[in-house]
Amino acid sequence: MRKWAKEHGLLLANFALFLVFFGGMILSGAASYSEDQQAHGEPAVTVLQFLASGEFLEATFENWESEFLQMAMYVVLTIFLFQKGSSESKPLDKKAPQDEDPRHATIGKATPWPVKRGGIALGFYKHSLSILLFVLFLASFTMHGVGGAEAYSEDQQSHGQAAVTFLQYLGTSRFWFESFQNWQSEFLAVAVLVGASVYLREKGSPESKPVAEPHYETGA
């Protein structure tokens, strides 16, 4: 068990942090939503009622949407684009292992089965990471719209105005403001990491070059 935990520590730690912060978001979100409801003369809600609300769906998926978009775009952009001196870039002056043609790989017992099979399976597998991230982005984008339409309709009706459909909500400035305010911060964070890794170091991290490495050296 200890060996397994060590081998999967990075995933386990991030998933544990996700659960802690997601739980905090749910509890604080339910309290905030209840306060807003009571301010409008409505009864407070339970945590379960909050989880079924458009407010919860909107708050959750507008954030997930930006994260998956950032990661999907980063995976794709690093195929074609470079940053001299950054640990986040492939080397400029030599071929990276990621560019090797899997059809010419030596097949062994541990080789992933799509590589062994070839054809359509390999064609899909070569881009499976970006496909997954874009699918998760589109799913989150959709759920952001679904939850947002419900929350927006509640707000509209409380002011004596008509509710909106999912498609109508996608045409509102509120939806795009929520999306853009998250998207811009994600790409700013990536840009800072890419640029800072040229000159700054973090000993022991694979996201950093070795501490003594020259600034112009590109790649981890």
pLDDT in tens, 93-147: 888 888 898 998 889 999 999 999 999 999 999 999 999 999 999 999 999 999 9
What pTM, to 2 d.p., does this model score? 0.92
Rounded-to-integer distance, Cα 99 and Cα 96, Å:
6
Rounded-to-integer distance, Cα 184 and Cα 131, Å:
22
Per-residue confidence at 24, pLDDT binned at 50, 70, 90? very high
- Evaluate whether 58 touches 151 at the Cβ level (below 8 Å): yes
Q: What is the pLDDT of residue 170?
A: 97
147-193 tens-digit pLDDT? 999 999 988 988 889 999 999 999 999 999 999 999 999 999 999 99
* Mean pLDDT along residues 197-204: 93
Listed in sequence order, the DSSP H helices in 40-127 are: 47-51, 54-80, 113-117, 119-125
Q: The tokens 């640029």 sit on which residue?
A: 195
Q: What is the pLDDT of residue 220?
A: 65
Token pair of 148, please?
């947002």
